[in-house]
Structure 1
Amino acid sequence: MERNKALFKGPFLEVGSRDYGSTEKIRTSFPGETYVGVDMQAGEGVDLVVDLTMPFSDVDALLGGNRFGTIFCLSVLEHCEQPFLVAENISRLLAPQGVLYVSVPHAWKFHGYPSDYWRFTHEGVKKLFPQLTFDMNIARVSTDVEGDLRPVNEDISRLRISGKWFRKRDECLKSIGADVLAMAGRIGLFRWLTQHRYLVPPTMIEMVGVKPRDSQQATR
C-alpha cells in the first residue's frame, strides 16, 4: 500500500472497516481526506453499517449516491456468501478511473468473521471484477512473514522441497536446506513434511484494479 500510495485518491471507501483488535487503521494514512468505513456490524472504525449484498439502489442510498476515487477491500471477500454480488456493487461504487485495492487469501487457515467461505487466485479476482483493469506488475503475493512480497506468477504460494527448484532462483541457502530435508525424507525422517511435493504457506494476493473512464456500468 505504501509503495503504491500515489495511485490512491479520495474520496475513500473501506469495505470491512470494523476494528477486530488487529485491524490496520488505513484511514490514518490519508489525513484530511473524505474517508468512509462500512461494515455489516457496527463497531470501532465503522461509519455506516452497510450490507453490500443488498440491491444496489439500497446501497447507493445509504452512501448518499457518492462515488469513490479509491475503495479498499482487504481480507473481506472470503467472508461473503455472495462474493460476485459484493464485487459488482463495489465496482459500481467506483468513480470512473477509480482504483480498487483488493486483498484476498489464496491459502489461509479457517477464520470466521462470522464465517469463512472462499479462497482465491489472481485469475479469480479478475473474474469477480470484470469491469476493472488490473496491473499485474503491481500485484503481489504476500505471506505471514513480514516483508515477504513476491510477484504473482506460476509459483504462487509454492515452497518446493527441492534444492534444484531454489537454485534456479539463485537462492543457494534455501537450496541447501531443501536438499537436506529431501535426504532426510529418503531415510524416513520428517515424513510429515517431505512426503509432499510442495508446501503452501499462508498466502495473500494483493491487486490494484482501475475502472475505465468510459465504463458502461451505471455511475449513478
Structure 2
Amino acid sequence: MCSDLFRGMLAILQYFLQDAISGNKLIKSINLGEAAGCGAALLASDMINIQSLKFLEVAPISLHLATPGGVVKTLIGRNMKIPTKKTVIPITSISNQEDILLRMYGSKQALTNDDNLVGEFHLLGTPSPSRKCPRIEVTHAIDENGILNASATNKSTLWQKTIQIEDVGRLLREEIEQMINGSESLGQENEKQQ
C-alpha cells in the first residue's frame, strides 16, 4: 500500500475512532511503521491459520545512565524483552555531594558518542557520606507498552523522584524526514533506470 493512501486511510480511521469514543482525544504517539508491521504479521498469520504466533515486545534502544563522575552504565540493552526492570546504585564522584545530576541516554548501539538524551534527574539535598558510599538507588522499568518509568530513591530518607517517558526509541522528526527524502531520491533513480 502506498504511503499516501495509508496516511489518508489512517486519518479517516482516526476520525471514526474519535467519534466512537465520544470525542475524547486520541493518543497518537505510536510509531506508524511498527503498527503497520504488527498488523501485517497478524494478517499473514490469520491467512495461513497459524494460531501459535506470539509477538514478543522488545526494547527498541539501549538505555544508559550517566553519573556526574562520567561513568556510563547500560541499564537495559537493545532488543531486551519487555516488560523489564533494572535497578542500580550509582557511585558519586565527590564526598558529601548534595546535588546529583543523573542523565539517561538511549542509542541503538551499545555505548556510543551519539546517544540521545532521553531524560534526567536533578536530585537536590541528597547528601552522600563519602564518594564511594552512595545512598541513591536508580530504577528503570519499561512496561508492556514501551513506556519508560525511571525513579531515583534516597535509601536513607526514602525520598523518591519519578519521571515517565513515553517516546523512548521513537524516531526523531529529522530521522523521519531523512528517510522520506532518501526514499524519494531512490524512487527517482528507479524511474531513470526504467
Which structure has more RCO (C-alpha within 8 Å, separation ≥ 6)?
1
Structure 1 or 2, whichever has the larger Rg, is 2
TM-score (norm 1): 0.19
TM-score (norm 2): 0.21
